[in-house]
C-alpha cells in the first residue's frame, strides 16, 4: 500500500500477525468470529501488549466489516498507513495526487 511492502502471516516470537509493514512498524489483524470468545480475546490482548512493547502499532479490523463494506475499510486502512507514515516522518512511495488529505499541495 502506497509503495510500502506488506508481509502476510508475519511471525513475532510466539505470535503471528495477519499483515505487517516493517518500514512503518504497523500490524493489521483481521478478526473473525473466533476473536469474540473470552479466551481468544485474552490472547489477542497479550499479543497487542507484546507488539506495543516492540513499538509496533497494531490495528484490528473485523472480517465482517471488510466483507460488508470493502471500499470503506480499504479507505480506513489507507488512512492508517498514511497517518503512521506521517507520524514516523516517512514519505509514501506512491503518487498521492488523488486528493488525499495528506497529499502535498
Residue 6, phi then psi, degrees to nearest 5: -125, 130
Domains and CATH numbers, the chain: 7-88 (3.40.960.10)
Nearest Cα to 43, choosing from 35, 55, 53? 35
> pLDDT (tens digit, 9 = 90+) per residue, 18-55?
999 999 999 999 987 676 777 878 888 899 899 999 99
Query: What is the spatial distance between Cα 44 and Cα 10, in angstroms, rounded to a whole number?
Result: 15
The pLDDT value given to residue 94: 59
**Which of the four pLDDT bands, split at 50, 70 and 90, describes residue 98?**
very low
Question: Per-residue pLDDT averaged across 58-66, rounded?
Answer: 90
Amino acid at each position: 500500500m502506497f509503495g510500502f511492502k506488506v508481509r502476510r502471516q508475519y511471525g513475532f516470537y510466539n505470535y503471528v500477525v495477519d499483515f505487517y509493514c516493517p518500514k512503518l512498524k504497523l500490524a493489521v489483524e483481521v478478526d473473525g468470529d473466533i476473536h469474540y470468545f473470552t479466551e481468544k480475546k485474552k490472547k489477542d490482548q497479550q499479543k497487542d501488549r507484546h507488539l506495543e512493547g516492540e513499538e509496533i502499532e497494531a490495528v484490528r479490523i473485523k472480517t465482517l466489516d471488510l466483507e460488508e463494506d470493502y471500499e470503506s475499510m480499504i479507505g480506513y486502512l489507507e488512512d492508517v498507513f498514511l497517518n503512521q507514515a506521517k507520524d514516523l516522518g516517512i514519505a509514501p512511495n506512491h503518487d498521492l495526487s488523488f486528493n488525499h488529505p495528506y497529499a502535498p499541495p
